[in-house]
Amino acid sequence: MKVWVPRDAAAKALGADAVAAAFEAAGAEVIRNGSRGMIWLEPLVEVERDGTRVGFGAATPADVAAILDGSAESLGPVEEIPFYAKQNRLTFQRCGVIDPLNLAEYEAHGGLAGLRRAVEMSDADIVAEVTESGLRGRGGAGFPTGIKWETVRKADGPQKYIVCNADEGDSGTFADRMIMEGDPFCLIEGMVIAGLAVGATQGYVYLRSEYPEAIEVMNAVIAIARQNNVLGTVLNSSHEFDMEVRVGAGAYVCGEETSLLNSLEGKRGVVRAKPPLPALEGFLGRPTVVNNVISLATVPVIFEKGAAHYASFGLGRSKGTMPIQIAGNVKHGGLFETAFGMPLGDLVNDIAGGTASGKPVKAVQVGGPLGAYFAPEKFDTPFAYEPFDGAGGLIGHAGVVIFDDTADMLGMARFAMEFCAIESCGKCTPCRIGAVRGVETIDRIAQGDATAIPLLVDLCETMKDGSLCALGGFTPYPVMSALEQFPEEFAVAQEAAE
Amino acid sequence: MSSTAAPHDPAGIASIITQYLHLEGPLLPMLHGIQEAYGCVPDDARPLIADALNITEAELHGVISFYHDFRREPAGHHVLKICRAEACQAVGANALSDKVLSMLGLDWHGTSADGRITVEPVYCLGLCACGPAAMVDGQVRGRVTAEALVQELAQ
């Protein structure tokens, strides 16, 4: 009997390896797939019945016998579970479905169709297709991917590079990790297409050291892709492309593209001033595309199904779909890929079912540690780049972290400053010194010193305007959004002191 | 996992350095390679690396000290990393880490006197929908409790 048990890190963290071992001991044929993204059901075991994959979760080794003899109660067909059925899976169409290390299965599910099309196209046509799809940088900045590629395509250089930013350090985000562990050939295919588009023959995946499972899977599939001419001589065409994984070393700021490039070169991960743009002077001073994992992993489906198909999803200038990660104190947490435009409140309450604790939602932080807190009053904000910008926030890498009514918002604001102080690369004074002063100033407020509040506001303005990158520049988002929406928590201590 | 004293093995270090010299931007892979072999980047290795890459030892120190991962001395026999980031805080990571640290009698980055356990903070393991999250000797753990972590470390 064929049984799927995810090898995704979240499934492993919840005991998937023991479940897989128990199935193997019972004589079942075990396939280690990626995660379907329904993390509250992990380890989510699947068994094929009458041609349909039926789910059991969260499974433990004790459930194995009953699952195999058919007496266990199932969740029904996995793809009919509402959380899954309500999605528009484009980027994540294969994640959880296939064995991530099986190239033949990848192809059987639409993989390499995009690359086969791209190898027949001119470089300019490839870039035009990406531009027409409306794809924007999924790492957070939202810069149009096609325009970035066009800049690199037109740049002169002895060697150009595709660098994949897999330094997914934002709390509440795990889409990069999931796709690298669950459908890694998709990222390789996207990087090869990017290479064809701009004339780059070498790629690097800068992958954070906190993701050992993803590192293992990516290294394994790169070797498989080389053996099968996906890498090297690309599909036996006249094009060459090869790539390798580079492991980060625990610095959050290396998720910023210029700091990442310095780190890749073996330097301190200090932010570079722009210009020069990395597109013109990137890795080793050569023209370089730096794209997020999800941006690159979305390229294959754009070429498989066409730019117009991809662009038909979304809202306004936010075209296509976004894999939204719902996390924190959440009842049904996981990865939900949907067209841009769903109101934040629908995601939090309808899709995710509110908090795990059952208490009311107090706030959600969207976009990682540099993202703003949204109180329920702002839950009608559509999930897309411009509407979030207009509401004083950012979607970032689309992590949504839910907090229940026990959350200490002054404490969260303090943590934002503390984190910035720990992770600052030190280049810009407002970030390096400001974050330390920010912690001290919030401590003064906590002790009842109301005169420190205007100081904090002023400090946030300085950090926002005087920092080169998002670490110093966006730390004010969580701080100010907490202060503005929960002013009573910054005043309570004062009353207590008086 | 690692020895408790910094090693003195110039020939071994030199052979690791050589493995990475052909790479573009070889320093980080080289430091990871050395740390994997010795549990840290020993001071002994510094002149050898600086010489091989034609950089100053000051520049090398700048790089090593910039990254949280690289150690000057080996960690304890077991390394516990507890996530301190927001998503885990939303499900009680602060109370969890306070409790673990107090049960072990350690502070962040501390190693127990017998060299058995080192505790480190980590800022996100990508296990944000099944927190609080931790890592025990490189193995991921979700929805952890202080008791379960300390018990696992005792084994």
| Contact in structure between B128 and A174 (CB atoms under 8 Å) | yes
Question: Tens digit of pLDDT for each residue in A299-315?
Answer: 999 999 999 999 999 99
**Interchain CB distance below 8 Å, B129 and A174:** yes
pLDDT at B2: 44
Give me the long-range contacts of A443-452 (CB less than 8 A, separation at least 24): A443/A414, A445/A410, A445/A490, A445/A493, A445/A494, A446/A410, A446/A414, A446/A493, A447/A493, A447/A497, A448/A493, A448/A494, A448/A495, A448/A496, A448/A497, A448/A498, A449/A494, A450/A491, A450/A494
The residue behind tokens 């309500």 is A86
Topology of domain A2-85 in CATH is Glutaredoxin (3.40.30)
The answer to whether residue B6 neighbours chain A at the CB level (below 8 Å) is no
- ipTM entry: 0.95
**Interchain CB distance below 8 Å, A327 and B129:** yes
Q: Which two tokens stand for residue A122?
A: 């001119």
**Interchain CB distance below 8 Å, A39 and B66:** no
In angstroms, the Cα distances linking A347 to A310, A477, B30 are: 22, 21, 44
CB-facing half-sphere around the CA of B107: CA atoms within 13 A: 0
Q: Let me know whether B20 and B83 are in one domain.
A: no
% of chain B beyond a pLDDT of 70 = 95
pTM of the predicted model, to two decimals? Answer: 0.96
The answer to whether residue B27 neighbours chain A at the CB level (below 8 Å) is yes
Position B145 pLDDT exceeds 80: yes
Of A208, A401, A414, which to mutate for an interface test with B (greatest number of B Cβ within 10 Å)?
A401
Omega of the bond leading into A487 within 30 degrees of 0 (cis): no
Length of chain B: 155
Position B4 pLDDT exceeds 80: no
Is B37 within a domain?
yes
**Interchain CB distance below 8 Å, A171 and B88:** yes
How close is the nearest chain A Cα to the Cα of B103, in Å? 23
State how far the Cα of A392 lies from the Cα of A134, in Å rounded to an integer.
23
Is B71 within a domain?
no
The residue behind tokens 């969207």 is A366
State how far the Cα of A316 lies from the Cα of A285, in Å rounded to an integer.
36
Q: Let me know whether B51 and B101 are in one domain.
A: no
Q: Name the domain boundary from B22, B46, B66.
A: B66
In the structure, how many helices (H) and strands (E) does chain B have?
Answer: 7, 4
Q: Let me know whether B114 and B50 are in one domain.
A: no
pLDDT at A495: 55
In angstroms, the Cα distances linking A226 to A240, A243, A293, A345, A491 are: 11, 9, 20, 45, 61
Of B63, B89, B126, the CB nearest to A174: B126
Is B118 within a domain?
yes
**Interchain CB distance below 8 Å, A173 and B53:** no
Q: Which residues, numbered 96 to 155 in chain B, qualify as contacts with chain A under a Cβ-Cβ cut-off of 8 Å? A: 122-131, 133, 135, 138-143
Is B95 within a domain?
yes
Q: Let me know whether B55 and B83 are in one domain.
A: no
State how far the Cα of A249 lies from the Cα of B34, in Å rounded to an integer.
13
Q: Let me know whether B150 and B82 are in one domain.
A: yes
CATH number of the domain at A103-311, out of 3.30.870.10, 3.40.50.11540, 3.40.30.10, 3.10.450.50? 3.40.50.11540
Q: Name the domain boundary from B66, B89, B108.
A: B66
State how far the Cα of A69 lies from the Cα of A452, in Å rounded to an integer.
66
Domain ranges, residue B45 = 10-66
Q: How confident is residue B6, by pLDDT bands cut at 50, 70 and 90?
A: low
How many domains does chain B fold into? 2
Element at A417 (helix H, strand E): helix A409-423
State how far the Cα of A143 lies from the Cα of A138, in Å rounded to an integer.
8
- Among chain B residues, the shortest Cα distance to A405 is held by B90
Close Cβ partners of B98 (under 8 Å, ≥ 6 residues apart): none
pLDDT at A140: 87
Average pLDDT of span B23-38: 97
State how far the Cα of B81 lies from the Cα of B127, in Å rounded to an integer.
13
Of A266, A412, A423, the CB nearest to B27: A266
**Interchain CB distance below 8 Å, A247 and B124:** no
**Interchain CB distance below 8 Å, B67 and A249:** yes
Q: Which residues, numbered 43 to 82 in chain B, qualify as contacts with chain A under a Cβ-Cβ cut-off of 8 Å? A: 53, 62-63, 66-70
Q: Which residues, numbered 76 to 105 in chain A, qualify as contacts with chain B under a Cβ-Cβ cut-off of 8 Å? A: none
Q: Let me know whether B99 and B62 are in one domain.
A: no
State how far the Cα of A168 lies from the Cα of A137, in Å rounded to an integer.
14
Omega of the bond leading into A58 within 30 degrees of 0 (cis): yes
Nearest to residue A337, comparing CAs of A182, A154, A155? A182
Q: Considering only CB atoms, which chain B residues are within 8 Å of A356?
A: 91
What stretches in chain A show pLDDT beneath 50? 494, 497
| Contact in structure between A424 and A432 (CB atoms under 8 Å) | yes
SS3 A211: coil
In chain A, where the domains are located: 2-85, 103-311, 314-404, 409-497
Close Cβ partners of A367 (under 8 Å, ≥ 6 residues apart): A140, A170, A388, A393, A394, A395, A396, A397, A398, A399, A477
State how far the Cα of A127 lies from the Cα of A74, in Å rounded to an integer.
46
CATH number of the domain at A314-404, out of 2.60.120.620, 3.30.470.20, 3.10.20.600, 3.40.50.1980? 3.10.20.600
Is B116 within a domain?
yes
Q: Let me know whether B98 and B133 are in one domain.
A: yes
Is B113 within a domain?
yes
CATH number of the domain at A409-497, out of 3.10.20.30, 1.10.3720.10, 3.30.420.40, 1.20.1440.230? 1.20.1440.230
Is B89 within a domain?
yes
Q: Which two tokens stand for residue B84?
A: 């301190």
Is B3 within a domain?
no
pLDDT at B3: 45
| Contact in structure between A36 and A44 (CB atoms under 8 Å) | yes
Instruction: State the DSSP code for A255.
Output: G
The residue behind tokens 């800022």 is B123
Which CATH number do you get for residue B129? Answer: 3.40.30.10
Q: Name the domain boundary from B66, B95, B111.
A: B66
